[in-house]
Each structure stands twice: as C-alpha cells, then as structure tokens.
Amino acid sequence: MAEFTMELSDEQKEVRDWLHGFAADVIRPAAAEWDEREETPWPVIQEAAKVGIYSLDFYAQQYFDPTGLGIPMAMEELFWGDAGIALSIVGTGLAAVGVLANGTDEQIGTWIPQMYGAVNDVKVAAFCSSEPDAGSDVASMRTRAVYDEATDEWVIDGTKTWATNGGIANVHVVVAVVDPELGSKGHASFIVPPGTPGLSQGQKFKKHGIRASHTAEVVLDGVRVPGSCLLGGKEKLDERLARARERARKGGERVKNAAMATFEASRPAVAAMAVGTARAAYEVALDYARTREQFGRPIIDNQGVAFQLADMRTSIDAARLLTWRASWMAVNGKPFTAAEGSMSKLFASETAKKVTAQAVQILGGNGYTREYPVERMHRDSAIYTIFEGTSEIQRLVIARTLSGMPIR
C-alpha cells in the first residue's frame, strides 16, 4: 500500500508541469474560440493525442498510480486550462471507467483501445446513463435490453440524454434495464460497437457552459449487440440478479447498479476538474486585484477584496485535499465508509461555483464580459454541481452512509 504523503514525487511533478504547459500553451489560447463555436475541438484533441495526453497509455499510467494522485492531478491541470476543451479531451474516460468497473479483462482489452483510436485517427467514446425522465432517479430508467437467446444478442431500445460525445462516439457504453421488477438493481451496461444499426444522435444541446464539449441525446431503436457486449458477461449478470431478487424478497441490503459503480469511481476525478476551474478563476482574480487600481491603490489593499481572495484560496486547497484523500482511498481499496468520494465531489463543485462567482465580482464590470475568462469559467462551473450526481444527490449519499437510514 502506498503511504499517504502531501509531497508529489519528482516524476509526478514532471507530469504535472508537462500537463500545465499543454494547458497554458494549447488549451487556453483556443478556449474562447471553441466556446463560441460550441463544437468539439478536434484539432486540440489531435494535439493532445500527438503529445500522448489523449491516449490509453497515459490514462492507464495515471489510473494505476499507487498514490491515487495521478488522475486528480491530471484533471486539475487540464481543467485549469479550460473546462469545455478539457472535457472533450477526458470525456472518453468516463466510458472507459464504465468498462473498467464492470467489464471482463477481455472486454477491457478489446474496447478501451477502440475508444481512443490512433494518433492520426482519434476517436471518442460516450457513457450513456441519464434519460429524459431518469437523471438522479436512476430507478426510473426506461431503456430496455432484452436477451434474444436464439441469436445470443441483446436488443436495446430507448433514449439517452446528456451524453458527452453522444452520437459522435466510436464506442458507446449504454446502461439499460434488464429486469424492471428490480428497479435500479436490475440494470446492466452494454458496449455498442461503432457502426451498429439503430443507434443515432438525437438533439444536440446548446449549453450554458462547457460549450466546447459535445452533449446530445442518443436514440437506440432496435439496437442489436452480441452477447459478448454485455459488460461482465451473462453468467455474472444472472448471479447478480439472483442475489438482488433474494435480497429484495428478504428485504435485505441494497445492491449497487452498473451506473452507480461507474459514478462512484469517477467522483473524485470530477472533484479535481472543479478544483482546476476554481484555481484558474482565483489566479485571474488575484492577478487582477494586484494590478487594478482604484482610489490610488491596488484593490487588493482593501480588506473586502483581500479577504475574499483568502477565502477562495482556502476553499480551493480544502477541496483539493478532500479530493486527494478520496483518490488515495480508492486506489488503495479503502471503503468510503463516510462517502468520502461524494464528499470530495460535493465540496469541490460547490467551491468552484462560489469561487468563480467571487472572481467575477472582484473583476467587476470586466468580469461580466467575455474579454476576461472568468465569465466563461463562471458559466462552466455550474455543471459540476449537476452532472454525475447533483449536489443534492451527493448530500443524500453522504447522509445515508453516515446514518445507515434510507433517507429520502
């Protein structure tokens, strides 16, 4: 087990500085353009692939960092550059985590490389869980997957929404209901290979923030996938469903579903994204406060501004520490007995919203214009309290974990 430390190793520092350089030199200069265009920044993803950031090898190295700090460190630096572009670069990772969390070794080896493509032919992947009537309420999911024993295929029908890279992805990972009577416990995840008939892109959303990241509906109309595309395999699914039915009959313990396993694994990473955006806004505000003069002196000389900056930095550092703790616990197999993953996501996402709003306030009228990046950062920050579990859901998870009660 890796010993917990506050000090990054020399190798980790090198990676951090490398990522920071890419974020500063490649991502930031392109941020405003792609935010305005509201399109996937393929040229930036291509550059990330050329230098090795957008690759399976890079994310595997960070994912298996024994300290647990590889992924959060990478997320913070990339999202410090720009949240929309960074999400386009790392969005494939959520689908990859879905396969890692639920798939067999063979499925992991087969599908994750196809999610990224090659340096000269980059691809993206999409994780499809939310539905028009089932966001936080995963038990209301309607997308169905029915097993056709005669052909050893699963037939999937339904509509997914809010899917990052939805419809433009090479590989889609789709969560569907296989046993409606079990509610959220009757879900399973499926790989939908590239070019599969019946899968199409629905509405593409025009968003408040993270506009360089493609978000759309995914429509599944009689989509047929081989039995081998059921993540984990049918034998494992049948065993899990049998246990769930028995526990339901006895009124026993809750069973995690496929989507929740993915979200639990990714929450500290989302927290790190929020930390990166908050840090970026704080740095702009700090620099502005040092150079902007009113009444013959820099505005940072005023306690009203200086104290805000002190609170901003304190909250950012606290959010990072909660994120690092959860990431260290996850990689070392420590159970989240107090919902530490949700804690990190809750605090970091709320911090990002607050800090970016404070940055806009410190810049005053300038902060409200697109001439300064804090306006975009403030819009981008809103997503952190919404996607992969709203702040209300995080509080619910924490409260249930602490109390052991089925709080509603």
Of 131, 89, 136, residue with least CA distance to 385: 136
Say how many C-beta atoms besides its own lie within 10 A of residue 377's C-beta: 31
388 is catalytic: yes
Provide φ and ψ at 192, rounded to 5°. -110, 110
Distance between the two ends of the chain, CA-based, in angstroms? 37
3-class SS at 297? strand
Alpha carbon distance 297, 300 (integer Å): 8
* Catalytic hit among 3, 340, 388, 392: 388
Query: For residue 161, what is the enclosing H or E element?
Result: strand 153-164
Q: DSSP labels for 94-143?
A: HHHHHHHHH--HHHHHHHHHHHHEETTEE--EEEE--BTTBSS-GGG---
Residues designated catalytic: 388
